[in-house]
Amino acid sequence: MNLKRRQFLFLSSLSTIGAGFLGWMLVRQNNQSADITDSTTAIAANPPKKDLLLRFVSVADTGTGAKGQYAVAGAMNAYHKQNPYDLVVLAGDNIYNNGEIEKIGEVFERPYKALLKQGVKFQACLGNHDIRTANGEPQVKYAGFNMKGRYYTFRRATVQFFALDTNSNADWKNQLTWLEKELSLSNAPWKVVFGHHPIYSSGQYGSNPDFIKTFTPLFQKYGVQLYINGHEHNYERTRAINGTTYLICGAGAGNRPVGRSGWTEYSTSDLSFASYEVYKDRIEISAIATNNRVFDFCKLHTRDFQS
C-alpha cells in the first residue's frame, strides 16, 4: 500500500472518531440542559398491584411557574413512570398571583407537559388567588381543569369525588344543599371531598371553626373518608376525626412552616405531593417529596369509619 493510500485511511479514521465524539458531546449537552418535564429516561414501571382499583395523586398551590413547582412536577412525573396514574386532584391556587388565564401555559401546561402528554387528567377547584380575575370563571371554562362548574362531582372506579368552592364569596346556600343531596345519593364505597381551604390545620391560617361546624357533621353522616385541600403551603395529615381524615397538600410550589396539633399524625413544610392507591377495603396514602422519597404513609380502612 502506498504512502498516500495509508494517509487517506488514517485521516478518514480520525474523521469518523471525531464525528462520533462530537455527536456524543452534543447529545450529552442536550440531555444536561433538557427541561425536566421532557425527560425520556426509561424507568421501569412497577408490576400492577393485585386488586388495585384506582391510583391518583393530589397537589395544590402550584401555579407559580417557578423552580419549586417544577421540582414537584418532576417528582410527580418520576412517580408516574413507576406507578402509572391518570388523575390529579388540583386543589386550588392554580394560577398566581391573580388567576390570570393568560398565564396558563407558564404555570400549568409547561410544568405538567409530560403528564398531560400521557393523558393524565387534572380535576381542579378554585382557590382564593384564582378568583381575583373575573371571579375565576376563565378557569372554570378552561378545558384542562375539567371543571363542570364551581362545584361538581365525578366518579372513578369505587371513588366518588366532590369538588367544592370554599372561597368566601361562594354560593354557600345552594352549594351546601347540593353537597348534602349528592352525598345522600352516592352509593360509592369511597367518598372524597376536596376544596382549597383547610378545615383542620396547624399551619399559618389554622383550623376553620365555621367549616368544622358546617362540614364535619355532613362528612360523618354520609361517610366521607377523606377531605383534601391546599391553601396552607405545607403537608399535614390528621388522624381520622369521626371517620374522616383531613389531608393538606399545599406544598406544590412553595412552602411555609407548619406545627402540630393533638389530631396531627404527620406534618412537614417539605415540597411534596400525595399519592392514593384505592383498594376494595382500604386506601393507601403516600406523601412524596421532591427527592422521590415517601416520607409519610398510612392506610384508611372502610371499617375505620363509625357513623
> pLDDT of 240-283, one tens digit each?
999 999 999 999 999 999 999 999 999 999 999 999 999 999 99
* 8 Å CB contact between 94 and 124: yes
Torsion of Cα atoms, 209 then 212 then 215 then 219, to 10°: 180
Given pLDDT bands bounded at 50, 70 and 90, which one contains residue 5? very low
Could you tell me the pLDDT band of residue 304, with boundaries at 50, 70 and 90?
A: low
Phi, psi of 155 (to 5 degrees): -125, 140
How many residues make up the chain in this entry? 307
Q: What is the pLDDT of residue 85?
A: 98
Task: Report the pLDDT value the prediction gives residue 41, as an integer from 0 to 100.
Answer: 41
Q: Which tens digits make up the pLDDT trace of 42-84?
A: 456 788 888 999 999 999 999 999 999 999 999 999 999 999 9
Q: How far apart are CA 275 and CA 86, in angstroms?
A: 12
Q: Are 165 and 269 in contact (CB under 8 A)?
A: no
For the beta sheet containing 190-194, the strands, ordered from the edge strand earlier in sequence to the opposite edge, are: 152-156, 159-163, 190-194, 226-229, 245-249, 235-238, 264-268
**Residue 39 phi, psi (nearest 5):** -60, 135
- Spell out where the chain has E strands: 54-59, 87-90, 121-124, 152-156, 159-163, 190-194, 226-229, 235-238, 245-249, 264-268, 272-278, 282-289, 294-301
Judge if the upstream peptide bond of residue 97 is cis by omega within 30 degrees of 0: yes
| pLDDT value at 217 more than 60 | yes
Query: Structure pTM?
Result: 0.86
Neighbours of 68 (CB within 10 A): 19
pLDDT value for 194: 99
Q: Over pLDDT 90: what percentage of the chain?
A: 82
CB environment 176-190: b (16+ within 10 A), e (fewer): bebbeebbeebebbb
